[in-house]
Copies of this chain bind each other. A is one copy, B any other.
Amino acid sequence: MGGDFAPDAVIEGAVDALSRLPSGDRLVLIGDRKSILEKLASMQVEPSLFDIVPTTEVIEMADHPARAFAQKKDSSLAVGFGMLKSGLIDGFASAGNTGAMLVGASYTVNVIPGVFRPALVALIPNIDGRSSVMLDVGINPDSKPDVLLQYALLGSIYARYVLGIENPSVGLLNIGEEESKGSAAVKAAYELLRESAEVRFTGNLEGHTLFSPEMTDVIVCDGFVGNVVLKMAERFYGIAKSRGIKDPFFDRLNFEVVGGTPVVGINANVVVGHGISNRMAIMNMIHQTVEVVHADLARKIKEAVSS
């Protein structure tokens, strides 16, 4: 159980997620057993609907990620990643300490051999109703050209298997349409992408193309600009809400309806939730994790990278 509103919001979100859970799937709640049982009782929910794995420690949001992960071996994060690694669970999601989630992702389940750097994936809504895959949105603020090229492949696999887009288009987020534009890393990445036979690269895409019908299915960027774009989009949702604007497009910018940001490039399916996740955000984070698990994303990426 992680996040600013744990355990209550986490348990409530998990209960809400049950109704849309594919038959045969089980939700495993990892956390303080007593709190979980008390909360379920107060909601009049039968505990046997879940598997419950008790833990005794908590990684706080302010804890140093790597140190906390190493020292608090009986935290839900450490136990969850251990279960993921040993195959006891097929996917793991938490709204807990993001840094500790990434430590677990990289050092417990490990990066897939051949993957340079894992990435965080965000779904970017299009006003035409579709969604695109943007990566990286926060792990690698300095992404080298070969890393950006590989993001194109990882994002294409995500688009194909999780979103069901047969032959996804890939755009490089840049400051102009021309190939001569951009930072040194982005210019070199353009060259690599243009020569790539593995992805369908369609060229550069600018800030004003995001959210538009011209947006590609996959948007490649470094983790710095991707993170700023994601948080700025979140801000626009907040502005629209605070100004009483009711509009389905702006609603899709609400992280609570998205759920979380999957980590790609590691040997298991992991979704990182927002620290401020409420009940709805947790429910959607779980749905998203189920989708990623059923798409068998980690294995699909492993096959693509090793082929």
Interfacial residues, chain A to chain B (CB-CB below 8 A): 127, 138, 141-142, 173, 175, 181-184, 186, 206-212, 222-225, 227-236, 238-240, 242-243, 245, 247, 249
Does A228 contact B141, Cβ atoms closer than 8 Å? no
Report A135 CB to chain B, min CB distance, Å: 14
> Assuming the A-B contacts A207-B231, A207-B234, A229-B207, are A224 and B141 also in contact, with contact meaning beta carbons closer than 8 angstroms in the complex?
no
Q: Please pick, from B212, B229, B239, the residue contacting A228 in the complex, using a CB distance under 8 A.
A: B229
Report A78 CB to chain B, min CB distance, Å: 22
What is the CA–CA distance of A117 and B113 in the complex, to the nearest angstrom?
A: 41
Q: Which residues of chain B are within 8 angstroms of A208 by Cβ–Cβ distance?
A: 231-232, 234-235, 238
Does A173 contact B228, Cβ atoms closer than 8 Å? yes
Residue of B nearest to A143 (CB): B183
> Assuming the A-B contacts A173-B228, A228-B206, are A249 and B238 also in contact, with contact meaning beta carbons closer than 8 angstroms in the complex?
no
Q: Which residues of chain B are within 8 angstroms of A222 by Cβ–Cβ distance?
A: 183
A-B contact pairs, 17 of them (CB 8 A): A127-B242, A127-B243, A138-B175, A141-B183, A141-B184, A173-B228, A207-B231, A207-B232, A208-B234, A208-B235, A208-B238, A212-B235, A224-B225, A225-B225, A232-B232, A239-B249, A243-B247
Q: Please pick, from B206, B231, B242, the residue contacting A231 in the complex, using a CB distance under 8 A.
A: B206
Q: Which residues of chain B are within 8 angstroms of A212 by Cβ–Cβ distance?
A: 235
Report A3 CB to chain B, min CB distance, Å: 17
Does A207 contact B230, Cβ atoms closer than 8 Å? yes
Of all A-B residue pairs in the complex, the 3 with the closest CB atoms, nearest first, are A207-B231, A207-B232, A141-B183
Q: Please pick, from B182, B231, B233, B235, the residue contacting A224 in the complex, using a CB distance under 8 A.
A: B182
Does A207 contact B227, Cβ atoms closer than 8 Å? yes
Report A144 CB to chain B, min CB distance, Å: 12
Among A181, A222, A245, chain B packs the most CB atoms within 10 A around the CB of A245
Does B186 contact A127, Cβ atoms closer than 8 Å? no
